[in-house]
Amino acid sequence: KAGVTQTPRYLIKTRGQQVTLSCSPISGHRSVSWYQQTPGQGLQFLFEYFSETQRNKGNFPGRFSGRQFSNSRSEMNVSTLELGDSALYLCASSLVAGKHEQFFGPGTRLTVL
Amino acid sequence: DQQVKQNSPSLSVQEGRISILNCDYTNSMFDYFLWYKKYPAEGPTFLISISSIKDKNEDGRFTVFLNKSAKHLSLHIVPSQPGDSAVYFCAARSTNAGKSTFGDGTTLTVKP
């Protein structure tokens, strides 16, 4: 069974631009969560989607948004990029919402110049 | 307020010895705890977990201990192997919240 895939793996943007990251969960998994990891920091929770509905949201500004499609694939969007948005963005899937063990993708490394 | 803390940023042990990674939490609502391992350029990989109704869970060389009164958990790796060298993240969840709160990670180096 294929793992969680994220595209693109690397991205370079400039301040003020917007970016869309994509995540395909493990086949059959219906819950997708997004995390941000910055150097020296743990993983900061962004949001969780299940059945195309956002179930939980972390403490991030409204510039960060996401959505989930009927096939469980998810996208994350960041508008008006700031230098501090440079980070590794990780997507994790689980079978259902609230299932404790999550399976992570390799992440998208975003660099904002 | 950081609800999950891993106070040791790094740990170095000799191959064959025990590695003990520690994690403290503050939120009493957490009822499930997980450890993930992360290699460079990869996403975290689930390692082992424990429910708050237990105080110990073992899986091969990995054992997690939970001390609810102290709000402390630890991961023991015995014996440690060079391939265990990675960043280890502690995570906590409350069943109703549906999200994981992670610590900052501990970098484990196992020397041959």
List the beta bridge partners of residue B22.
B74
Task: Calculate the alpha carbon distances from A103 to A1, A23, A32, A96 in Å.
Answer: 12, 12, 9, 12
Min Cα distance A98 → chain B (Å) is 5
Cβ-based neighbour number of residue A25 at 10 Å: 27
Residues of chain A neighbouring B44 (CB-CB closer than 8 A): 43, 90, 104
CA pair distance B35, A26, nearest whole angstrom: 20
Q: What is the pLDDT of residues A38-51, one digit of tens each?
A: 877 779 999 999 98
Min Cα distance B79 → chain A (Å) is 25
CA pair distance B71, B69, nearest whole angstrom: 6
Instruction: Quote the pLDDT of residue A99.
Output: 67
Instruction: Quote the pLDDT of residue B42.
Output: 87
Cβ–Cβ gap B89/A42 under 8 Å: yes
List the beta bridge partners of residue A45.
A35
Q: What is the pLDDT of residues B11-69, one digit of tens each?
A: 999 999 999 999 999 999 999 999 999 998 889 999 999 999 999 999 999 999 999 99
Cβ–Cβ gap A55/B93 under 8 Å: no
Q: Are β-strands B10-14 and B106-111 bridged in parallel, bridged antiparallel, or unpaired?
A: parallel
Q: Nearest Cα to A23, choosing from A81, A72, A70?
A: A72
Closest CB from A41, A98, A102 relative to B104? A41
CA pair distance B36, B77, nearest whole angstrom: 13
